[in-house]
Amino acid sequence: MSGVVGVLALQGAFEAHQLVLRDLGVKTVQVRTPAELELVDALVMPGGESTTMSHLLVTSGLFEGIDSRLKQGMPVFGTCAGMILLAKGVLDGRSDQKSFGAIDIDVKRNAYGRQIDSFETDIEVDGLVEDFHAVFIRAPQISRCGEGVTVLARHGQDIVLARQGTVMVAAFHPELTSDNRIHSLFTGLLQEV
């Protein structure tokens, strides 16, 4: 694909995403300000703390800008906290927590428990030949999935990778493995734009 993929760099594992994107030969920049948002054609929202990012989206003035770009169809990929920020509904989130409602799912934060319950497992992913090794860290769970949403992977009964239009979300952390295939699915979406 041509174009620049921005990585929201307010807090969290944004550098890990950049490494995977660069590995795919994609040009990537860190986005902390509305001016930096102007430079990008697509955006990755990384894992981290969604409450912290929610605050910083407001104080940085990025919330409105991202919201309007999403409405114009900018492709976006949210992992873990990034998925929470993109969800329509956040169960047991903080009352002041902002989300973009860009994908018709509800999510439950820290659904698998505390850090001691974090885990790794191999999952089957729609469109990939071999299983993907998925790392779940204090992961959120998709508790409701709307009709327009395509399920791309499950762990047991739980949906862990999904897509609606050009919005893709993962409950796990594809940026923490050296396997770039999930990011490749996302950059593949950009061709469709």
Q: Which candidate, 60, 73, 57, 47, places its Cα nearest to that of 170? A: 47
Q: Among the residues of the chain, which ranges form H helices?
A: 14-23, 34-37, 50-59, 62-71, 81-86, 181-192
19 binds another protein per the rule CB under 8 A: yes
118 binds another protein per the rule CB under 8 A: yes
Q: Which candidate, 63, 74, 69, 103, places its Cα nearest to that of 86? A: 103
**Would you call 155 a catalytic residue per the annotation?**
no
**Would you call 38 a catalytic residue per the annotation?**
no
* Near another protein by CB under 8 A: residue from 1, 16, 86, 171: 16
**Would you call 124 a catalytic residue per the annotation?**
no
135 vs 163: CA distance, rounded Å: 19
Dump strand ranges (E) for the chain. 4-8, 27-31, 42-45, 76-79, 87-91, 103-108, 119-123, 132-136, 141-145, 150-155, 158-164, 167-170
Count of residues engaged in binding another protein, rule: CB under 8 A: 44
* Near another protein by CB under 8 A: residue from 1, 9, 44, 125: 9
* Cross-sheet strand order for the sheet of 141-145: 87-91, 103-108, 141-145
State the catalytic residue, choosing from 15, 49, 55, 80: 80
Per-residue mark of binding to another protein, 132-161 (x: CB under 8 A): ---xxxx-----------------------
Supply the minimum distance, in Å, between the C-beta of residue 1 and another protein.
22
* Near another protein by CB under 8 A: residue from 4, 24, 29, 56: 56
Could you give the residue numbers annotated as active site? 80, 173, 175
Residues that bind another protein in the complex, under the rule CB under 8 A: 9-16, 18-19, 32-33, 47-49, 51-52, 55-56, 59-60, 80-81, 92-94, 109-110, 113-116, 118-120, 135-138, 173, 175-178
